[in-house]
Structure 1
Amino acid sequence: MLAMDITVLEQHFALLKPLLPDTASNEAAAYMLFGASDITFDPWSGIPRLRLVSHKVIEIPATDQISASPVHVKWSTRSFMRLLGDAAIAGKIPAIVHTHPSDHAFFSEQDDANERELARTVHQKGLRGLVSIVLGGDGSICGRIWTEPNKFILADTMQIVGGRYMRHGRAPTVGSNRHYLDRQGRLFGLNFNDEMASLRVCIVGCGGTGSPVAMLLARLGVGHIFLVDNDVIDETNLNRVHGSRRQDIGRPKVEIIKREIDAMGLGCHVEVAQKWINAAAVRDALKSSDFIFGCTDDNSGRILINRLAFFYGIPVIDVGLRMIAVSERQGHDLNGRVTTLTPGRPCLVCSGVINPARAHEEELERNQPDEFQRRKAEAYVVGAEDPAPAVVTFTTEMAAVAVDEMIAAVTGFHGSEGMIPSRVRRWHARDDRFLSVKSREHCPVCQSDEAGGAGDVEPFLDIVG
């Protein structure tokens, strides 16, 4: 059994919407290219999954359009053959999109017959498959992939991903005892509780911000959580890691957080990996997620989740704090930050959050500790700094701000643009700043036509070394 879902990036969906000007319009069509994300083992279901992510929208030339009416659209296959050539060169999966202006999204018998012949051509060209998407005039959307001329897989879900997260299709995994969510359902509606129950969320880092994020998500009714952290609890963690106890010193952080969520008895399925985020064994969990929370304090981990947001179209909500103790006369410098990453927005490198040189040093320290110490002695690397100050009230507050951004993506309570791109809370100044950051020209991540919706590439995320 192979599960399959389809992600359409918000900027690509915006290019498709003009195909449906109103419910009285003629049917219309377009082409797309999709990247593939092959998941060997979904950590929650244990079954393989294929996730497709939109890479490009291609207009069908007007000269190829033969006829159209409210119930049909017909075009020449000349441009379709060019599409297959483009797909082969780019290593992507070709797709056709068409509309049902006066109806809901579904695949008709005529669609089956037409696409079967196109899928045969795709198969003869040696391509992996043909994706087909239907947009309904009522706002519905459905999709499938033809893996063989006579075989297709329907998408479990179709999600539109950007500042908003809008999903169609997945039957929520809702337990029988959900009365504890009654109060939040009164605010956002019962569908919100269903949406939370079916979400798959990965938390990278289970310290001062990651542990409260996990606790909050579980109490929101999120159905599936994956925890990633290689560290164990030490005495200095007890002031801010939620759920930790003195007798937990020396135990993995991920086990502590899982224990506490399991003890809630709220039906949240928690899986863990006591590993660094860069470990190959964590990739399936990352790629299976609907949201990723970056709660790590290292540059190396942030480089990976930064690229992941763009290559796989998975929203990343990154949390950071910078607290500097100065003299009583001068006051304090206390800052918390939440940055949201989706294709179409600046990445963490362009935002100045990641220090690439320090990221390289962190990787060297983990993977080649002897070489790191040699370079440190010769002053080629900076080396570890003193531990940063941390206070549980501040770390927990920013965790709540981060979770609020996920809620905003799902519900739109911030408005139509969804998640706020970057918020800095300055406790000492008693204000929030909403930063406007521009991407650097030619950035290989957020300004690259190749990175957005690329899916699986070799090496992973195009990270060399």
Structure 2
Amino acid sequence: MKLSIRIAAPVMERLRRYHLAAGKHAEALSYVWARAVERKGEILVLVPHNAPLKLFAPDCFVRQTAGNVQLCPDVLNGMLIGFAASDFNCLINVHDHWFDETTTFSSTDDRDDLVFDRYLRRSFEPMLLQHPHIGPVRRIHNLSLVLAQKGVEARLVNTRSKRRFLKATKFSVIGEQFERPVIGIRGNASVADDMFTRQKDFITPDKQDMLANLSVALVGCGGLGSILAESLARCGVGSMLLIDDDELSLSNLNRWQGGCHKDIGQPKSKILAANLKRMFPALCVSALVSSLYATEAEQFLVGADIVVAGVDNDEARYFLNRLCLQYQIPYFDAGVDVTIEPDSPDFRARFFAIVPGVTACLECTQIELYQRQKTLDAYQDVVTAEARRNAGYVTEQPEISAPNVYAINQRSASLLGMELLNYICGWQPMATSILESWKSGIHERLSRKVFPEPPHPSCPICGYYAGVGDAEKLPRPRAFALAALQHLDGCIDVGSLSANASL
């Protein structure tokens, strides 16, 4: 079993200011309420930007010395009553070793963590079971976190388990720059360090190690995705998850990186995975031949550190926006557009990035990143969609293959590749949106310094769904839901479906 933690940078910054303030002379204690998601072989702890954070004044402590701290019983009980009434299932106690550069748990920490966990298991959880009116009955995950000046150590504590302490192997701070205060085992790609010697002047060894430990999920293995995958592998990304349900066709070969005639008819994700493995034997790469909306694809994506998309429709972008907000995953998207105008064609490349808790999402940004109404129509329930169609609000449009060319895919992939490297290395403020037009020569890069658009306070996605993990079911487009039902039942009567049957 592995433990991974994703914490929003605004929360981490407040914890650091409280626990590591200049001139302090005593240890402090705080609590954060979070959500834990149990997956196969992993426990994932999610701390969104709006997670409740409990910081205490000096008079709230019974004892507060340089190396030990204890809350007043009444203060602790008041905090626990509030936690019991919430729907959070992970309680994080945070203390500090303010006197150390780096840190590890001490024997005193071991004793205190075990005492507190025994109380949770023997008194707190049974109390929830006996008095369900206080709050929802659930299993409580007890996470302990210690901060030092330049390091973090985290672990789950469970006195009912043979393995009482489970240390975090991944601790990701999701902010304007990707941060890993705790580094786990070096990634497989780093064994070929000589391969990256020409990058060492601008990518430091610790950032190269971070890339080697990075797991990137690539959604869409078409012309753009095939270039993105190879670009990321050549930068040193250590692990890639490839998702696409399409097969390579003859018309793809004009822009599909590494595609050959012998590959026609084979799944794109598997061809791409085989090509990458042949070029980079140390790379850990997995391929999934599946719709983005399938359950297995969702499980694939949740385990990634960063989601990269090269998709050709806004329904997929809407789904990825929601998934990445729920599971605290930075989302980078690249796209292309070729328009045939009377005098000459125009080739446009586009990029956007969404960082949960830091940037606005697709739903609340002022930048027009997707066709809002058309996309939302695709997610409507069957009854509403049929009524809108009958009333003339919706007309069916035949699908037309969009023109595409290899060079513009290269340009869009290079924009995303450089911005992802910038996000890891922090060379300059990250960009949330880039738009280029070949015909007009426009290059518009909106950085966080120029346009620091935060999540909107009333945004339902950034607010309610941020960091909820499995607590809320992800929406699926109506077409996928109907196809899934038809696969299960052979045929269905659309008119008999309830209003929520498609979601």
TM-score (norm 2): 0.81
User: What secondary structure sits across from 2:411 in the alignment?
Assistant: helix
Matched with 1:68 is 64
Deviation at 1:96, TM superposition (A): 0.9
User: What secondary structure sits across from 1:398 in the alignment?
Assistant: helix
Q: Tell whether 2:434 aligns with 1:423.
A: yes
Contact 1:134 1:143 in 2 (8 A): yes
Matched with 1:135 is 147
Contact 2:465 2:472 in 1 (8 A): no
Contact 2:293 2:476 in 1 (8 A): no
Matched with 2:15 is 16
Matched with 1:125 is 124
Matched with 2:136 is none
Q: Tell whether 2:262 aligns with 1:265.
A: no
Q: Map 1:367-386 to 2 at 5 A.
A: 380-386=394-400
Matched with 1:216 is 231
- Structure 1 residues 258, 53: closer, same or farther in 2, change over 3 A? same
- Structure 1 residues 234, 431: closer, same or farther in 2, change over 3 A? same
Matched with 1:78 is 74
Structure 1 segments, 4+ long, off by >4 Å, are: 360-364, 374-379, 437-441, 461-464
- Structure 1 residues 78, 309: closer, same or farther in 2, change over 3 A? farther
* Selected match of 2:158 from 147, 152, 157: 147
Matched with 2:216 is 201
Matched with 1:359 is 375
Deviation at 1:409, TM superposition (A): 1.7
Contact 1:60 1:79 in 2 (8 A): no
Q: CA RMSD in A?
A: 2.7
Matched with 1:112 is 110
CA-to-partner distance for each residue in 1:431-458, whole Å, 9 max, x for gaps? Answer: 3213445755622112x1x322222213
The AA in structure 1 aligned to 2:440 is A
Provide the C-alpha distance between the structure 2 equivalents of 1:207 and 1:79, rounded to a whole number of angstroms: 56
CA-to-partner distance for each residue in 1:123-155, whole Å, 9 max, x for gaps? Answer: 232242211111102x10010111336722111
* Selected match of 2:245 from 230, 254, 258: 230
Matched with 2:174 is 161
Matched with 2:43 is 50
Contact 1:203 1:226 in 2 (8 A): yes
Matched with 2:458 is 442
Provide the C-alpha distance between the structure 1 equivalents of 2:44 and 2:245, rounded to a whole number of angstroms: 27
Q: Tell whether 2:405 aligns with 1:391.
A: yes
Deviation at 1:261, TM superposition (A): 0.5
Contact 1:128 1:147 in 2 (8 A): no
- Structure 1 residues 78, 392: closer, same or farther in 2, change over 3 A? farther
Deviation at 1:382, TM superposition (A): 3.2
Identity %: 23
The AA in structure 1 aligned to 2:106 is S
Contact 2:213 2:239 in 1 (8 A): yes
Give structure 2 stretches of 5+ with no counterpart. 126-138, 478-499
- Structure 1 residues 461, 122: closer, same or farther in 2, change over 3 A? farther
Deviation at 1:99, TM superposition (A): 1.1
Deviation at 1:216, TM superposition (A): 0.8
Provide the C-alpha distance between the structure 2 equivalents of 1:184 and 1:116, rounded to a whole number of angstroms: 46
- Structure 1 residues 398, 83: closer, same or farther in 2, change over 3 A? farther
Provide the C-alpha distance between the structure 2 equivalents of 1:134 and 1:462, rounded to a whole number of angstroms: 40
Provide the C-alpha distance between the structure 1 equivalents of 2:284 and 2:82, rounded to a whole number of angstroms: 41
CA-to-partner distance for each residue in 1:360-412, whole Å, 9 max, x for gaps? Answer: 66579xx99xx99x969987443344222222111111112112222112111
Q: Map 1:274-423 to 2 at 5 A.
A: 274-328=289-343, 331-343=344-356, 344-351=358-365, 352-359=368-375, 380-414=394-428, 417=429, 419-423=430-434
Deviation at 1:72, TM superposition (A): 2.4
Whichever of the two has the greater Rg, that structure is 2
- Structure 1 residues 190, 234: closer, same or farther in 2, change over 3 A? same
- Structure 1 residues 462, 24: closer, same or farther in 2, change over 3 A? farther
Matched with 1:102 is 99
Deviation at 1:24, TM superposition (A): 4.9
Provide the C-alpha distance between the structure 1 equivalents of 2:192 and 2:457, rounded to a whole number of angstroms: 52
TM-score (norm 1): 0.87
- Structure 1 residues 376, 355: closer, same or farther in 2, change over 3 A? farther
